[in-house]
Amino acid sequence: MPVRKDAEIIAPKGRLGVLLVGLGAVTTTFIAGVEAVKKGIGQPVGSLTQMGTIRLGKRTDNRVPLIKDFLPLANLEDLVFGAWDIFEDSAYEAAMHAGVLEKDLLQQLRGPLQKIKPMKAVFDQNYVKRLSGTNVKTGANKFKLAEQLIDEIAEWKKKNRCSRLVMIWAASTEIFLKPHPVHKTLESFEKAMRENHRAIAPSMIYAYAALKSGIPFANGAPNLTVDIPALRKLAEDNNLAICGKDFKTGQTLMKTIIAPGLKARMLGLNGWYSTNILGNRDGEVLDDPESFKTKEESKLSVLEYILQPEVYPDLYKDFSHVVRINYYPPRGDNKEGWDNIDIFGWLGYPMQIKIDFLCRDSILAAPIVLDLALFLDLAQRAGMKGIQEWLSFYFKSPQTAPGLYPEHDVFIQLMKLKNTLRYLRGEDLITHLGLEYYD
Ligand SMILES: NC(=O)c1ccc[n+]([C@@H]2O[C@H](COP(=O)([O-])OP(=O)(O)OC[C@H]3O[C@@H](n4cnc5c(N)ncnc54)[C@H](O)[C@@H]3O)[C@@H](O)[C@H]2O)c1
């Protein structure tokens, strides 16, 4: 089993700049949450880096430190936030508009939130049909726009006196794009940027600018973005960590909790029907069929991979899986997700499970953004590069090496994540074999 020396992790000296693409519901809830925790008026519930522990050695050793004590993660006090958006609203105004957090709480955080003003976005309405805004960069072509971003990032880093940066895409879901030949190599990608090729979406321009600037990148939406050979190679060549796609919250989180349980007990599945109503801006964007298609692809793959119909045809062959998202303004960010699950047991007898999850999307997504920012920075300081599969835990549609199927089971993902942390600090990996206790 691989063991490495923890001495290889560089200490987190100085300030960590967290660059967020999109200053919407998720990112403002994340920033406001960090500010609330710093002020001592909120708890970082849902964040593994802040509240999680990790068992080390044998169960009888009683070594269970907090993850943040076990690893040299950046402190919340050392985080600085920057963002791009097509709207000019400060983080305070955007948070008020998103309506996720209570106005009273936001007023207490007004000072730091009002200081965060979004930089002009790289945006093209062809990729997000339902939005239009004025806080947008202009440039002769997509390559020039990337150059503007690169200069802006360097300036921002200097101005904010940061020693390190990470970038996270939490902007709107773009239309569904398939891999295109221009995505194959960096040369063809750059040429396509210069030619304003349609296959280059704004999210790819941000990712390119990040990787060119030596910044690790995480993709919180289901867009293709860094999941193309040209950018994967750029990350590898520049020793940068990347991960994605699509934050695992709400209904898909529930799916990846329940489906492994059904499979563990060899219970069959005839069908899983999922529908959602939500009324935030994300819901409005996803009301456009082309953006929804990107989301649908991301949500649909989960069950196939967990249940493995090809391995268990008697239990999972041809189950029906339907996912719907309906834009319903009165709900705002407080989504309601219904699941009807048709399962069968002994001798094929049918049963049903109904789930009605009254969830708050951004409340579930904010701790993911925090953990990804801290873990990406850690990965960077630990010399890890390319796709970070151990961060699959946070994604609906985890990015993996080409040809490797993704692991969707949230419990396996957590084990993978914690074993990676043990590995980074030269601790024994935990297999859960347990025979040693009975020798
Ligand atoms: N909330 C969740 O639980 C969750 C889960 C998984 C994925 N996501 C994804 O995260 C993203 C953000 O979600 P949200 O609820 O905050 O949405 P939101 O609509 O509130 O915020 C997105 C923001 O991105 C901005 N934007 C769009 N294109 C941009 C561009 N090219 N450059 C800069 N800014 C741009 C929009 O103006 C908007 O303010 C969405 O893609 C969503 O699908 C959210």
Tens of pLDDT, residues 332-382: 888 899 999 999 999 999 999 999 999 999 999 999 999 999 999 999 999
- Note the pLDDT of residue 232: 98
- Note the pLDDT of residue 204: 98
Asked whether 169 and 225 are in contact (CB, 8 A), the reply is yes
**Would the CA dihedral through 188, 193, 195, 197 be positive or negative?**
positive
Asked whether 396 and 222 are in contact (CB, 8 A), the reply is yes
Q: Is the CB of 122 under 6 A from ligand 1?
A: yes
- Note the pLDDT of residue 5: 54
> Could you tell me the CA-to-CA distances from 154 to 102, 179, 214, 351 in Å, in that order?
35, 30, 10, 58
How many angstroms separate the alpha carbon of residue 170 from the centre of ligand 1? 5
Q: Are strands 217-219 and 162-169 parallel, antiparallel or unpaired?
A: parallel
How many angstroms separate the alpha carbon of residue 174 from the centre of ligand 1? 10
Q: Is the CB of 387 under 6 A from ligand 1?
A: no
- Note the pLDDT of residue 2: 54
Q: Are strands 336-344 and 268-278 parallel, antiparallel or unpaired?
A: antiparallel
How many angstroms separate the alpha carbon of residue 282 from the centre of ligand 1? 6
5-56 pLDDT per residue, tens: 555 899 999 999 999 999 999 999 999 999 999 999 999 999 999 999 999 9
| Nearest ligand 1 atom, CA 172 | 41
376-418 pLDDT per residue, tens: 999 999 999 999 999 999 999 999 999 999 999 999 999 999 9
- CB under 8 Å to 251, separation ≥6 — which residues? 274, 276, 299, 323, 337, 339, 357, 359
Give the pTM. 0.96
How many angstroms separate the alpha carbon of residue 173 from the centre of ligand 1? 6
| Nearest ligand 1 atom, CA 128 | 28
How many angstroms separate the alpha carbon of residue 294 from the centre of ligand 1? 13
Q: Is the CB of 246 under 6 A from ligand 1?
A: yes
121-171 pLDDT per residue, tens: 999 999 998 899 999 999 999 999 999 999 999 999 999 999 999 999 999
Pick from 130, 46, 71, 157: nearest CA to 423: 71
Q: Is the CB of 87 under 6 A from ligand 1?
A: yes
Q: Is the CB of 84 under 6 A from ligand 1?
A: yes
Q: Is the CB of 282 under 6 A from ligand 1?
A: yes
- Going by alpha carbons, the residue nearest to atom 40 of ligand 1 is 172
Please give the average per-residue pLDDT across 190-209, as a whole number: 98
Determine the residue of 219, 282, 285 to mutate for testing ligand 1's pocket, defined as the one with the most ligand atoms within 8 A of the Cβ atom.
282
Q: Is the CB of 145 under 6 A from ligand 1?
A: no
pLDDT beyond 70 at 437: yes
- Note the pLDDT of residue 48: 98
Q: Is the CB of 372 under 6 A from ligand 1?
A: no
Question: Is there a cis peptide before residue 245, judged by omega within 30 degrees of 0?
Answer: yes
How many angstroms separate the alpha carbon of residue 384 from the centre of ligand 1? 28
Determine the residue of 19, 20, 21, 26 to mutate for testing ligand 1's pocket, defined as the one with the most ligand atoms within 8 A of the Cβ atom.
26
How many angstroms separate the alpha carbon of residue 345 from the centre of ligand 1? 40
* DSSP symbol at 399: -
274 backbone φψ class: left, alpha, beta (φ>0; ψ -120 to 50): beta
How many angstroms separate the alpha carbon of residue 436 from the centre of ligand 1? 49
Please give the average per-residue pLDDT across 113-125, as a whole number: 97
The alpha-helical segments, DSSP class H, found in 160-201 are 186-194
247-291 pLDDT per residue, tens: 999 899 999 999 999 999 999 999 999 999 988 887 888 888 888
Q: Work out the percent of the chain whose per-residue pLDDT is above 90.
A: 87
- Note the pLDDT of residue 4: 61
- Going by alpha carbons, the residue nearest to atom 31 of ligand 1 is 123
Q: Is the CB of 131 under 6 A from ligand 1?
A: yes
